[in-house]
Structure formats: C-alpha cells, structure tokens
C-alpha cells in the first residue's frame, strides 16, 4: 500500500541531498504524523536512476506537499515533480537536460524556496550553456496550477557571470533577487566592467528595480533606474545571455 500523504505548514520546505534513491523511502517528518515514500516514485523512474537531491513543499497551494527530485539517468540530469493525489505520488512535471527550448543549456541544479513572499515555495531551476561561462536562473511558480494543466509560470529569468547563484533577499521590504555579472569589459562595450542587477516583487511580477555598473577606473559608473512596466520575458524583466 502507498504511504500516507503528508501535510505541512504553509510554505515550509525541506531539502535533503543524497547520492542514493533509498533516501526517498526514509520517514519525512510531516505535521500530524510521518509520511513515507513508496513504489509510485520507483515505478515512474528508470532503473538506473541516481538521486542527486530532492525537496518537498506545497508549491501549488493545495495544502499537500509536492516532491521535487533531481536525478541522473543514462548520463543525463533530470528534474521531476510529483504531486500527491488520492494516496499516491503522481508524476506531474519534468525538466529534461538539453531541451530545445533552453537553446542547448544543460540542467545544472535546482532549489525550492519562496521567492516572491506569497507563502508558497517556488522552483529555481539552474541551467549551464555549453559555450558560455554563465549560470542561468529560471524561477518558476506552480501556485494555482494543477496536474491537468500545462505546467508552471515563469516569474523571472536572468544569468550570473561567472557562474554563480543569485542572491534571494529583500529590498525596501519587497522580495528581491540579485544577479551579479563580473564578466569584464566585453560585457559592457560602453565602459562598464560588470553590474549588479536587482529585481523586486511588485504585487504580481518581478520588475527590475536597480542596476549598478562597476566602473573601469577612470570611466565612471552610475545606477540605472528601474524601467517602468518591465515584466518577465519582455524588456527589462529578462536578460537573454549572448
């Protein structure tokens, strides 16, 4: 029989790293009693799977936790999200390595965290292009989604150079995400040696609220004001690495 489903306080996330799938079978301390992984997870994954890390959290706001699993199979890295339904784990959403939509970028890692402060965890998916020394962050929300819908919405996408994780925090009381680019003068032909770019949550989306260039000595630098009306995927909301 499948293990019991488990509930958690709103927004709580637990992340554990391991090199073996057996960790999924260990007891997870859920509110109101333990919960156990079961054969649904094994049955939906290849036999040669090697788990890198996993996290649990109520990403869709239905009061039941989801399970995000990062694993290797056939030499490729994959990320799968399972949804709890009627006493079983249901495979809900997958992110494959080297998909056409990612322009050849490879899945690198992921994190589960509440990035926009709505009380529910989001997924930060990290990608590495083959030809560029950058790390792309794609921030996804599943709030309001369901198993029969297409999938998550993209809250934000940008990159750091050299490869590094963005900084999640707050700016004047608003949830924020900061990206650092220290790629050198080639990234800024006009004279900047790099920049610090900050996105702030504004009720329904992340908007660029600050960008400060680091100057090459003698050339100067000044903050770039936020661009009104920018949104993820358009204008200032997303920077496409070149």
Asked if pLDDT for residue 106 goes beyond 50, the answer is yes
Min mean pLDDT across 141-150, 176-185, 233-242 is at 233-242
pLDDT band at residue 102 using 50, 70 and 90 as cut-offs: low
* Complete DSSP assignment for the chain: -PPPP-B-STT--EEEE-SSGGGGGS-EEEBTEEE---HHHHHTS-TT-EEEEEEEE-TTSSSB-EEEEEEEETTEEEEEEEEEETTEEEEEEEEETT-GGGTTPEEEEEEEE-SSSSSS-EEEEEEE-SSSS-EEEEEEE-TT--TTS---EEEEEEEEBSS---EEEEETTEEEEEEEE---GGG-TTSEEEEEEEEEE-SSSEEEEEEEEEEPTTT---EEEP-TT-BTTBGGGB----
Min mean pLDDT across 63-77, 93-107, 223-237 is at 223-237
Asked if pLDDT for residue 229 goes beyond 60, the answer is no
How confident is the prediction for the chain on average, in pLDDT?
74
Asked if pLDDT for residue 64 goes beyond 80, the answer is yes
| Average pLDDT, integer, range 15-31 | 37
Which is higher by pLDDT, 217 or 141?
A: 141
Q: What is the pTM of this model?
A: 0.74
Residue 18 is predicted with a pLDDT of 39
Q: What percent of the chain has pLDDT over 90?
A: 42
Asked if pLDDT for residue 60 goes beyond 80, the answer is yes
pLDDT band at residue 192 using 50, 70 and 90 as cut-offs: low
Residue 158, both tokens: 């940008």
Min mean pLDDT across 133-142, 150-159, 182-191, 196-205 is at 182-191
Asked if pLDDT for residue 28 goes beyond 70, the answer is no
């Amino acid at each position: 029989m499948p293990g019991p489903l488990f509930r958690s306080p709103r927004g709580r996330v637990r992340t554990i790293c391991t090199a073996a799938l057996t960790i999924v079978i260990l007891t997870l301390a859920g509110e109101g009693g333990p919960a156990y992984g079961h054969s649904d997870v094994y049955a939906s994954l290849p036999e040669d799977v090697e788990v890198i890390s996993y996290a649990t959290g109520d990403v869709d706001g239905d009061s039941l936790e989801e399970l995000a699993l990062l694993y290797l199979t056939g030499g490729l890295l994959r990320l799968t999200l399972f949804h709890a339904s009627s006493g079983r784990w249901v495979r809900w959403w997958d992110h494959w390595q080297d998909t056409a939509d990612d322009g050849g970028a490879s899945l690198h890692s992921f994190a589960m965290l509440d990035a926009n402060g709505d009380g529910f965890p989001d997924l930060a998916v990290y990608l590495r292009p083959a030809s560029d020394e950058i790390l792309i962050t794609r921030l996804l929300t599943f709030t309001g989604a369901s198993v029969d819908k297409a999938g998550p919405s993209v809250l934000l996408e940008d990159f750091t150079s050299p490869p590094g994780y963005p900084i999640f925090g707050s700016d004047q009381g608003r949830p924020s995400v900061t990206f650092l680019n220290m790629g050198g003068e080639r990234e800024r032909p006009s004279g900047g040696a790099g920049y610090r770019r900050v996105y702030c949550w504004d009720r329904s989306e992340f908007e660029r609220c600050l960008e400060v260039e680091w100057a090459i000595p003698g050339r100067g630098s000044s903050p770039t004001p936020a661009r009104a009306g920018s949104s993820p995927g358009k204008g200032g909301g997303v920077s496409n690495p070149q």
